[in-house]
Structure 1
Amino acid sequence: MKCSPAALVLSLLVLAGCGQKTETPAPVVAAGAPVAAGVAATMPDVGKVDTVLAKADGYGPTPAAATADAIKSAILQVNGATIDTSSVSVKYGLDVTDGVDSVSLRATEFAERVAQKSGGAITRFKVLSLDAPTVKGGPYKASIEAQIAHYTAPVDKKLKVVVGALKFDTDAFNVGGAMVPAAKVADDIRAQVSAALTNTGRFSVLERENSEEIDQELALIQSGAAPRAEAGKLGQAVSADLVWIGHIDTLAYERHARALRTSDRELVSYSGGWGVSQKLVNVATRQVLSADALRGRAPDVAPTTLGAGVNTAQVLADMQRNIVRDIVASIVGRTFPITVVSLQGTDVVLSQGGDAVKPGARYAVVTMGAEMKDPQTGESLGRVEKACCIAVIDKVTPKLSYAHLEQVSGTLAGVAPASLQLREMVAAQAAPAAAPAVGAAGTAPARATKVVKPARETAPEAISKEDGKW
């Protein structure tokens, strides 16, 4: 069968059309359309080194000496509180002016040499004026301007606190029969308190323990091995607002054993606990802002003849964790009471998380009223508090906590969330007693199950009385 040329061309066109791929046009983004915000966390604010424009005058027996003095004055003007004046010339390479005449001091090449010799700490240098002595034997006067490297400290409105080393009165603590060095226990508690206070988001904990490593980094800058622009970081250490001081009064988990008269076996039990005294001191005034004593017990092991033993490491870790939790709760409660920041019905968001509250725990909530003042001294006595409800902690994050309110007295309508504050932990509600079973005729069954206490009950309390500490 023969095809005409026109039919052949038509067939080829049809086949080409069938074989073509349809490209989906790229989506068009309208100008000014909102862009989804990034989910990456922002970098922590650790401060930065920038430059500050400074103008200064200097005096000297020669134009070069006057210029060097002016540069030194500009550096001290920007970083005066943080620079050692005796070493400014060496650190910033001010000997670059030695032997330079007045004409060369004004040249662009000299400004470039200043920037190079100072390692970038001095840039955009310019001699504004250079005046000869007004009297015979008088000094030259140089007026300059330059960009001087300067360290800007991070913006931090938190209370700055130093966690002091815990003190103790014994070399070792008895934990389950093992003698644990008291110094190690104290160091561990101190480290955990520092971490927990940092995680509250309310305190800037200042490092005082690893000063040697920090000093090595600062010495690197002072030696000139680091860029001289980093010199702005020197002398930026801050002092604390508060110092926390703690003392381990007692810590023990002791083994109690008593031989049985009727056999060669022993009745063994374990009991113990801890006690810590603490205080917060205002650094500026040396005033003790708060002081209290915290106490806690470790779970007892009931008397048994089955060769009971304890995991010493676990018992100690649990006691340390409870100590840290109570210390942090006490500090935060006195300085930054936990406050409701969001109130939706009976669901609330609390201003703190971390170790400040415990998941599943129940806390009393009060409504804050007017501030009361002492009529003689005018000192604030605190604000009126009215019992409101119970907050049950549902979820804890590093910075916030989520809870729901129970046993609300009155109505929450119109109550400002910030007026609600958490107080002490309260015991869990006792489960309601089960209702008696009802028979088909609506009467209780003739016989009921009665719970009878055993005639003899072995309690660890009897053993713990032998230990005067607990």
Structure 2
Amino acid sequence: MRKLTAILFSILILACCADQSFANAVQKYRVAVSDLVISPGVPEKQASIVRNSSLIADIENAIRNGRKFELLTRRGAAMQAIRQEQEFAKSGLAAADAAAEGQMSNAQSLVQVEVTQFSFGRSSSRVPNTEKYRVSDYCRIELSVQIIDTSRGSVSASFPIKASTTSGTAMANRIGSASSAVLDQTLEKAAGTLANMLSDTVFPIQVLTVKGKRLWVNRGNDSGLHVGDVFDIFEPGEELVDPQTGESLGSTETEVGKARVVRINPKVTIVEMTDGDPSYIQPGFILRAPVPAK
């Protein structure tokens, strides 16, 4: 009986180790979003609106909903609350099994967001010969985003983001204030674009398999893709290294075709080639959105 118990105990230990190894193997890439930075060029009234808005929360939600990253908080208020809880956990008031080491996981990439342009308000005009007004709400925002590799302290990517929303013209008895719905829609657009570009920076869209003119890529229905979206297809090449710093600058890429999204599944997306030779495409080739013409 003792021998059987020892065997069962050994099996349990091995199972626990296997579960821990599996958990470590599937650990997600860790990112954090820093506190919002607002450019001095943004007027103070507008700066106050965006400073007190849900922008950072929207960005965090968009990153979290993508399910590709482990999201860590770096917001000042949250960090202070975490520290207070850790101090409590180490105190004699907490249960013995609640002790904390007081350390937090480090982010592998830090997302820094600066608002460079922002405007939110209501335009109006008096309707001739009446006491009414034509009103229309608007919101526009421009962001400068940097993705910082925390292990090296270098900027791994930087890109601008623009988003805007306008309401239809309506009749009103008074001018009033702009609707917060226009603000919310604009911030959600900007946050969604940022989350997608972050994902494309860390995990570019790659071909998984090829069947005729159709390619299966590593994006699902939570990626922000839409049927009809068009992408350029690139063959990855040799890594480029700065000879002075030794820093990796990415790799050479050769454009080999174009494809259009035809179907979006929960975990993968199917695109169909509209230009190029499908027989040349291999798993690992990269899809990127076309660069807009200036």
TM-score over 0.5 (shorter chain): yes
Given candidates 356, 362, 380, the residue that maps to 2:229 is 362
In the alignment, the residues of structure 2 paired with residue 275 and residue 364 of structure 1 have an alpha-carbon distance, to the nearest angstrom, of 24
**Aligned partner letter, 1:391:** R
Where 1:298 maps in the other structure, the secondary structure is strand
In the alignment, the residues of structure 1 paired with residue 292 and residue 27 of structure 2 have an alpha-carbon distance, to the nearest angstrom, of 33
Given candidates 206, 209, 221, the residue that maps to 1:339 is 206
CA contact (8 A) 1:163 1:244 kept: yes
Where 2:62 maps in the other structure, the secondary structure is helix
Q: Given the two structures, how large is their TM-score scaled by the length of structure 1?
A: 0.47
In the alignment, the residues of structure 2 paired with residue 279 and residue 310 of structure 1 have an alpha-carbon distance, to the nearest angstrom, of 34
In the alignment, the residues of structure 2 paired with residue 316 and residue 375 of structure 1 have an alpha-carbon distance, to the nearest angstrom, of 43
Match of 2:52 in 1: 184
Given candidates 138, 154, 164, the residue that maps to 1:297 is 164
Distance apart, 1:366 and its partner CA? 0.8
**Aligned partner letter, 1:389:** K
Match of 2:62 in 1: 196
Where 2:186 maps in the other structure, the secondary structure is helix
In the alignment, the residues of structure 2 paired with residue 323 and residue 383 of structure 1 have an alpha-carbon distance, to the nearest angstrom, of 29
What is the 5 A alignment of 1:308-347?
A: 312-347=179-214
Cα distance change on mapping 1:163 and 1:376 into 2, 3 Å: closer
Cα distance change on mapping 1:323 and 1:393 into 2, 3 Å: farther
Distance apart, 1:201 and its partner CA? 3.8
Where 1:323 maps in the other structure, the secondary structure is helix
Cα distance change on mapping 1:363 and 1:170 into 2, 3 Å: same
Distance apart, 1:347 and its partner CA? 4.0
More strand by share: 2
**Aligned partner letter, 1:166:** L
Where 2:205 maps in the other structure, the secondary structure is coil
Cα distance change on mapping 1:269 and 1:374 into 2, 3 Å: same
**Aligned partner letter, 2:108:** D
In the alignment, the residues of structure 1 paired with residue 69 and residue 275 of structure 2 have an alpha-carbon distance, to the nearest angstrom, of 32
Structure 2: gaps (5+ residues): 1-15
In the alignment, the residues of structure 1 paired with residue 194 and residue 276 of structure 2 have an alpha-carbon distance, to the nearest angstrom, of 31
Distance apart, 1:222 and its partner CA? 4.6
Cα distance change on mapping 1:200 and 1:349 into 2, 3 Å: farther
Match of 2:7 in 1: none
In the alignment, the residues of structure 2 paired with residue 419 and residue 312 of structure 1 have an alpha-carbon distance, to the nearest angstrom, of 45
Given candidates 372, 388, 391, the residue that maps to 2:260 is 391
In the alignment, the residues of structure 2 paired with residue 235 and residue 203 of structure 1 have an alpha-carbon distance, to the nearest angstrom, of 23
CA contact (8 A) 1:368 1:421 kept: no
In the alignment, the residues of structure 2 paired with residue 380 and residue 276 of structure 1 have an alpha-carbon distance, to the nearest angstrom, of 24
Cα distance change on mapping 1:214 and 1:195 into 2, 3 Å: farther
In the alignment, the residues of structure 1 paired with residue 167 and residue 83 of structure 2 have an alpha-carbon distance, to the nearest angstrom, of 44
Match of 1:417 in 2: 283
CA contact (8 A) 2:148 2:156 kept: yes
Distance apart, 1:181 and its partner CA? 3.7
CA contact (8 A) 1:358 1:393 kept: no
What is the 5 A alignment of 1:65-464?
A: 155=24, 157-168=27-38, 172-173=45-46, 181-185=49-53, 188-209=54-75, 210-211=78-79, 212=81, 215-216=84-85, 219-223=88-92, 225-227=94-96, 231=99, 234-259=101-126, 263-264=129-130, 266-299=133-166, 301=168, 312-353=179-220, 356-371=223-238, 373=240, 377=244, 380=249, 382-392=251-261, 394-395=263-264, 397=266, 400-410=267-277, 412-413=278-279, 415-424=281-290
Cα distance change on mapping 1:226 and 1:291 into 2, 3 Å: same
CA contact (8 A) 1:393 1:403 kept: yes
Where 1:407 maps in the other structure, the secondary structure is strand
CA contact (8 A) 2:120 2:178 kept: no
CA contact (8 A) 2:139 2:183 kept: no
Distance apart, 1:153 and its partner CA? 11
Q: Given the two structures, how large is their TM-score scaled by the length of structure 2?
A: 0.71
In the alignment, the residues of structure 1 paired with residue 176 and residue 259 of structure 2 have an alpha-carbon distance, to the nearest angstrom, of 39
CA contact (8 A) 2:109 2:148 kept: yes
User: Larger Cα Rg: Structure 1 or Structure 2?
Assistant: 1
In the alignment, the residues of structure 1 paired with residue 155 and residue 90 of structure 2 have an alpha-carbon distance, to the nearest angstrom, of 38
Structure 1: gaps (5+ residues): 1-49, 52-150, 175-179, 428-470
CA RMSD in angstroms, aligned pairs only: 3.9
Identity of aligned residues (%): 14
In the alignment, the residues of structure 2 paired with residue 163 and residue 223 of structure 1 have an alpha-carbon distance, to the nearest angstrom, of 33
Cα distance change on mapping 1:292 and 1:234 into 2, 3 Å: same
Cα distance change on mapping 1:240 and 1:289 into 2, 3 Å: same
